[in-house]
Structure 1
Amino acid sequence: MGSKVKLAVCTLNQWVLDFEGNLERQIKAFKQAYEKGATYCLIPELSIPGYTCEDHFCEGDTELHSWEVLEKLLLMEESKHMICDVGMSIIHRGSRYNCRVIYLYQRILLIRPKMACANEGNYRELRWFVPWQKKKTVEQCLLPKSIQNITGQHTVPFGDGVIETQDTCIGSEVCEEMWSADCTNVHQSLNGVEIITNASGSHFNLRKLHVRADIIKVATARLGGAYLLANMVGCDSGRIFYDGCSMIAVNGEVVAQGLQFTLEEVEVTIATVDLEDIRKYRAAISSRSLQGAIETEYPRIRVQEFAMSPSGVLSQFKLGCSSPLCVDYKTPEEEIELSTACWLWDYLRRSGQSGFFLPLSGGVDSSSVACIVFGMCNMVCKAAKDGNQTVLNDIRRLVNDESYAVTSPEKLCNEIFTTCYMASKNSSVATKQRASSLAKRIGSNHLELCIDTVVSALLTVFTAVTGFIPKFKAHGGSNRENLALQNVQARIRMVLAYVVAQLLQWVRGKPGGLLVLGSSNVDESLRGYYTKYDCSSADINPIGGISKTDLKSFILHFTVKYSVHSLKEIVEAPPTAELEPLNEGEIAQTDEHDMGMTYQELSVFGKLRKVSLCGPYVMYTKLVHLWKATCSPSKVAEKVKHFFYSYSINRHKMTTLTPAMHAESYGPDDNRHDLRPFLYNKKWTWQFRKIDEHASQLEELD
């Protein structure tokens, strides 16, 4: 009997509730896998309705249409010779489960429910699903009549079982299960399961791929076996980006890897695996054999008429096993460029709008966004030139020209991207020149306007009503006056941004409108260092989950990659809002001075607060040790107290944050990732008193 099998993992760009499009992409994936000779094809998590439909999972329509899509898939000729594995939500005995439906041409072999629901950070799966908690137990699930008519089955196995073919045994787990402490794959491997599949919806995070790949490699190195991971790619119709990179590992080595970032809507990755290599590897590990001998039995669904490996000596000989490879890891700078580019492209092409609008100030943040959009245009142009017809069709629809020929990213950038420098009397010549230089290099349709007349008109109305004339602090005004005058400028820029974005395409004789892009980084959002409803308020924000430190590194990467040497000036210039009067033509205001902390310190505060779950006192105790070489205990105490005071008085701003692509583990977006209150006692009396007492005691010891 043969022992070599061809396995397929598919990366799909599914769209929530797009049942028509999702079906087409799954059909395309199965056809490609079949043409490549696969006998098992794995599709990502909840592939039929899309992940995540959120509260739409609670609607009867979602499950109804999912069954309707499954009807079409069950009838595919390709599934006569290939086990297919798709995902949908299913109600079983009154409870809703996130399920895998594993079938072989008009016969459902097993419905395998997810056993560990993701319920932290970006995920709320327990809001919609119940995890299957009956380990190694299978029940019978009643099928809808429409499915019964196709399969001839009244009920099918539902639960924690495995599938046994003529030549091997296959087990399933779903996404979160591979991250959980009690991994399903351990028990399956000990019970003789040789091929383990994981249909995943693993979101992108900077520097995360190493962890995901290591989990797969370690699992198969420890226990032997083949591990299949199929992941989604693209925007989840919200803040999350899935980075693809489906892969297959065997006995501790990755033997096949899909692209981590791709504009292809369907990518099929194949590996040929020798089951005998798995058996010999396992048998050589004495401790594993001893544990496997006492592992309790899994319910086995036997498919006696089907073999995963082709029969015949010649057929086996022609199959060459896939060799180990080095996982293609991107640098954080490359991850920023590619992830945000893919996320923006998905959002733009699906939104029905015809481009982007960005207030370009000439600083690091807005310049980073401009570079990201250009990177998107570069990526899109390359895909179109490489023959991606879907991308080309989307480009032509966006520019409203069915014969549009892709020539350069600069030309496309000019068609779909407008930048605007919104000057005031407080703006410097240097930032204006930097913005203009960058816009010229990337080819954006660049505008320049002055907001002074609009600001003056608003202040005239205020004076007419109150009789008072507010002044900047530099001109003798109070802090309240100074802040109000800054905020007026910032908010006027937001209003003008939307006016231009809605009407500019009309002016240019083009259909549609422009999506306004925000440019507030994760550190500023955490600190609340921005004006509520200013130009950071936009439709979407590509950098809202990225730190200032990473953005500077990205700009330097972009400088080298695209030979934009003028960007060095942007990185080296001190960050400034330019909302206060200039001092003899020079900038007198800087962000870090206004915030009372550096961006580097903000990143540390953010990680300790969110990732390490530190309140004021515990954060202080950690930083006393971390910063002891440069700060006294009392200085650390002041920094921590200032951060929590600033965080507290600005926390309400988190409720209006522009939706941003999630990229950093300490993102403060309280609509999804950071569920904390937004009304605090800003004095933190108990906590701050304890910090002061501790600092005082430490300094007395010194």
Structure 2
Amino acid sequence: MAHFVTIATCNLNQWALDFEGNRDRILESIRVAKSKGAKLRVGPELEICGYGCLDHFGENDLYEQSWQMYGEILNHPDTDNIILDIGMPIIHKSIKYNCRVISFNKKILLIRPKLHLANDGNYREMRYFTPWNRPKYHETFYLPREIKNITHQTSVPIGDCVIETMDTKIGAETCEELFTPQSPHIAMALDGVEIFTNSSGSHHELRKLDVRMELISGASKKCGGVYVYANQKGCDGDRLYYDGCACIILNGQILAQGQQFSLDDVEVVTATINLNDIRSYRNQKSAALQSTASENPYHSVFVDFEMSPPALVFDPSVKPTEPRPARYHKPEEEIALGPACWLWDYLRRSKTGGFFLPLSGGIDSCATAVIVHSMCRLVVKSIDAGNEQVLQDLRALTKSKDFHPKLSQTVASRLFYTSYMGTENSSKETRERARDLAAKIGANHVDLNMDSVVSSVVSLFEVATGKKPIFKIFGGSQTENLALQNIQARLRMILSYLFAQLLPWTKGREGGLLVLGSANVDECLRGYLTKYDCSSADLNPIGGISKTDLKAFIKWAEKKFNIPILKEFIEATPTAELEPITKDYVQSDEVDMGMTYEELSAFGKLRKVDKCGPKAMFVKLYHEWSRPPYNYSAEVIAEKVKKFYFFYAINRHKMTTMTPSYHAEQYSPDDNRFDLRPFLINPRFPLASKNIDSIVSEINQRNRYHEPRAKVEEKKQNGLFVPKNEEVD
């Protein structure tokens, strides 16, 4: 007879330090899970306080308030008759741990601390917590007074243990433990655990979901079992977007998968499994059975509860969930959805009046505007689907209790403001592109010229110093040329904040606007922007996205969102338009930078992801760029690497003040969280440069020997006569 068990996992949009809101979302997920017949509910990592509390984890108040909320959850009548796996931080013997608290019917069964902590990239868990690096070891934890009054327990086990019900065994992993070489689920499987839970705070990066899904699938494929994955979803107050995808996988096959991007605060995913399918699968794995003898058993905490109906009871309405393929978004869709959801969370939680964007007519600000358009589309779609929370949030933002939009443009007309801040160096084409795009997506657009403001600042300098700077194209120096460009860029930042504060007022609306920046990850890496220019803003949704990906996104959005004007943005030459346009000269970004955006992406990935210094980068690029389609010489590659590191180094200080950006690329140069490197270093990298020059010399010497030989061999292969004097020894 089958042993059917229904299991629930969830994506929750938790917010750091929003204890009562987090509590309510947890309770809602439990209610939904029970309504679907689930006997086990698994939630995200640190769901009670929010994953991204950062240095607030050093405050004792946070732990006391977490226990306060946990007590209210535990004592709530909706939490009866279901096993709950809930994440919260706990202090044990004066040491802070990232824990899972597993309970049933107002009794805490086990506190399971995280064994392996995430401590690279965006994660600093070792700064806040201590790993429980004692596998299969447990101690006694004495409960706080307020919890004792609810559970009538004095103490509970804390440590690396498992839960045993009347019909199965459950083991818990937490996030990073899935990615470690000795993942706990392997030892648990060998000790008879059939249900593995994993509660995560995993963030979105472009093209990375498949890696996570393969690991989750592999976790149950090797030893058999059901793997139940829960994750945070949304922006919990920082640069990351947690991308959900809660899932349930049985013996390596996906049964259920939640959404990666949505505006739903609570999403519960369930599946019904047959425990006998796990046992049959394991009976075929003789190697695993042979290994069990060498494994020390886990301490099991027994709970007098049967998750499956009695074996003799047959209910034809209960049937196992069928496997299904994994669902992935294309990178263009990820750009459209991830930053859009992140912006919505930031907007509704900051309770401001909307967004302001300096819309230049270039592809970067265009991409930012289209992401806001995507956000507006998601808002309308969620409202049409009956999401009352989104509708309430929108009405609160617009201060309109009856607002019920049917079009994304209607939402944009209340939340989105743009401005083209032109000068005499601006072109008619960029001005028209900005105007047409704003009209298509419904933004409130202001078209202005700021020449008088620029002239006033230059005149002020001339009066104060007696010297007037002029552009290089008219005979000025490079110093004058750069200063005159920076004046325009910085004045746009000042005007942006002026307009962000006052534009809603001009329409009789309350509140200010969040200013959006639009510097892409490649320009940030190269430092191709002015410090404190219009890239200095409140938020930057594209600051972690490459120029190449942005172009692909705009090309996709042109057809997907039916915005024909986007084609003109794709075809236009990227230009800052900060220098005068003449018959013989138009400023070009790639010419100014001395490298292409494609090359910048390669430099960025090698520097950050592959951890290459200048010499290692040159060696890797030589093997790639010395052959088609590049066919670069060793000298050219060496020069490009040196130039990149020079400009990266002299502009590194700009990263200390960059606008908080949506994190989407592993090679993001964000100084504040992700890329911890000094901002004052020798830009010449003298030793590395000498080493590169030495390798170039060796390559050239070898080529001088091999090239004649190669030409002779080519002639022979083609049947041509080779004179004696051309033969190479």
The unaligned stretches of length 5 or more in structure 2 are 704-729
**Distance in structure 2 (CA, Å) of the matches to 1:508 and 1:565:** 29
SS at match of 1:420: strand
1:186-225 alignment runs, 5 A limit? 186-225=186-225
Q: In the alignment, is residue 405 of structure 1 matched against residue 400 of structure 2?
A: no
* Superposed displacement of residue 311, structure 1: 2.1
SS at match of 2:222: helix
Alpha-carbon displacement from aligned partner over 1:143-172 (angstroms, at most 9, x marks no partner): 001111111111101000000000000000
Would you say the 8 A contact 2:27–2:78 is kept in 1?
no
- One-letter amino acid matched to 1:518: G
Quick check: 1:41 aligned with 2:41?
A: yes
Q: Retained in 2: the 8 A contact 1:174–1:200?
A: yes
Residue equivalent to 2:718: none
- Name the residue aligned to 2:714: none
Q: Secondary structure at the match of 1:682?
A: coil
Alpha carbons 1:491, 1:531 under 8 Å: kept: yes
Per the alignment, residue 614 of structure 1 pairs with: 612
Matched, 1:670 2:671: yes
Residues 211-360 of structure 1 aligned to structure 2 (within 5 Å)? 211-303=211-303, 305-311=304-310, 313-360=312-359
Amino acid corresponding to residue 640 of structure 2 in structure 1: K
Which residue is equivalent to 1:638? 639
Aligned residue for 1:67? 67
In 1, Cα distance between the equivalents of 2:559 and 2:436? 16
State the one-letter code of the partner of 2:669: P
TM-score (norm 1): 0.99
Does the aligned pair in 2 maintain the 1:2–1:311 contact within 8 Å? no
1:318 counterpart SS class: coil
Equivalent pairs, count:
700
Distance 1:138 1:317 in 2: 42
Q: Does 1:372 align with 2:371?
A: yes
Report if aligned partners of 2:555, 2:567 keep a CA contact under 8 Å in 1.
Answer: yes
Corresponding position of 1:679? 680
Matches within 5 A, 1:270-669: 270-303=270-303, 305-311=304-310, 313-584=312-583, 588-629=586-627, 630-669=631-670
| Contact 1:341-1:376 at 8 Å conserved across structures | yes
Paired with 1:312 and 1:75, the residues of 2 have a C-alpha distance of: 31
C-alpha contact (below 8 Å) 1:336/1:554 kept by paired residues: yes
User: SS at 2:85's partner residue?
Assistant: strand
For 1:103, the aligned partner's letter is S
1:127-155 C-alpha deviation (Å, 9 max, x unpaired) = 11000011101111010011111111111
Shift of 1:2: 5.6
What are the superposed Cα offsets for residues 438-492 of structure 1, whole Å, 9 maximum, x if unpaired?
Answer: 1111111111111111111011110011100101000100000000000000000
Query: Quick check: 1:119–1:126 contact (8 Å CA) kept in 2?
Result: yes
* Paired residues of 1:428 and 1:587 also in contact (CA < 8 A): no
Q: What letter corresponds to residue 599 of structure 2 in structure 1?
A: E
Structure 2 CA distance, aligned partners of 1:668 and 1:453?
A: 36
Q: Which residue number corresponds to residue 176 of structure 1?
A: 176
CA offset digits 1:529-556 (Å, max 9, x no partner): 0000000000000000000000000001
Q: Percent identity?
A: 52
SS of structure 2 residue aligned to 1:701: helix
Distance in 2 between residues matched to 1:448 and 1:503, nearest whole Å: 15
Larger Rg: 2
Residues 636-667 of structure 1, C-alpha deviations (whole Å, 9 max, x = no match): 00000000000011000010110001000000
Secondary structure (helix, strand or coil) at the match of 2:642 reads helix
- Superposed CA deviations along residues 594-643 of structure 1, whole A, max 9, x for unmatched, are 00000000000000000000000000010010101220001100000000
Q: Taking structure 1 as reference, are residues 197 and 587 closer, same or farther at Cα in structure 2, changes over 3 Å only?
A: farther
Q: One-letter code of the match for 1:338?
A: L
SS at match of 1:223: coil
Query: 1:78 Cα deviation (Å)?
Result: 3.5
Given that residues 77 and 105 in structure 1 are in contact (C-alpha distance below 8 angstroms), is that contact kept between their aligned partners in structure 2? no
- Residue of structure 1 equivalent to 2:710: none
Partner of 1:10: helix, strand, or coil? strand
* C-alpha distance after superposition, 1:381-413 (max 9, x if no partner): 110111100000111111111011212101111
Residue 372 of structure 1 aligns with an amino acid whose one-letter code is I
Instruction: State the shift of 1:361 in Å.
Output: 0.6
Cα–Cα, structure 1 residues 274 and 587, in superposed 2: closer, same or farther, change >3 Å? Answer: farther
- On the 8 A contact 1:2/1:313 being kept in 2, the answer is no
Alpha-carbon offset, residue 236 of structure 1: 2.2
Contact 2:47 2:88 in 1 (8 A): yes
Corresponding residue SS for 2:651? helix
Query: 1:696 offset after TM fit, Å?
Result: 1.6
Deviates more, 1:571-580 or 1:285-294: 285-294
CA distance in 2, matches of 1:492, 1:476: 24
1:198 maps to amino acid:
N
* Residue 701, structure 1, aligned to residue 724, structure 2: no
Instruction: Name the SS for the 2:228 alignment partner.
Output: strand
Alpha-carbon offset, residue 297 of structure 1: 0.3
- SS for the counterpart of 1:25 is helix
Measure, in 2, the Cα distance between the counterparts of 1:497 and 1:313.
71
User: Contact (CA 8 Å) 1:232, 1:243: kept in 2 or not?
Assistant: yes
Which deviates more, 293-302 or 365-374? 293-302
Q: Quick one: distance in 2 between partners of 1:281 and 1:557? A: 43
**Contact 2:52-2:238 within 8 A present in 1 as well:** no
Offset of 1:505 from its aligned partner? Answer: 1.0
Equivalent residue letter for 1:605? F
TM-score by length of 2: 0.95
Post-superposition shift, 1:42?
A: 0.3
- The answer to whether the Cα contact below 8 Å between 1:174 and 1:198 also exists between their aligned partners in 2 is yes
SS in 2 for 1:529: coil
CA contact (8 A) 1:3 1:316 kept: no
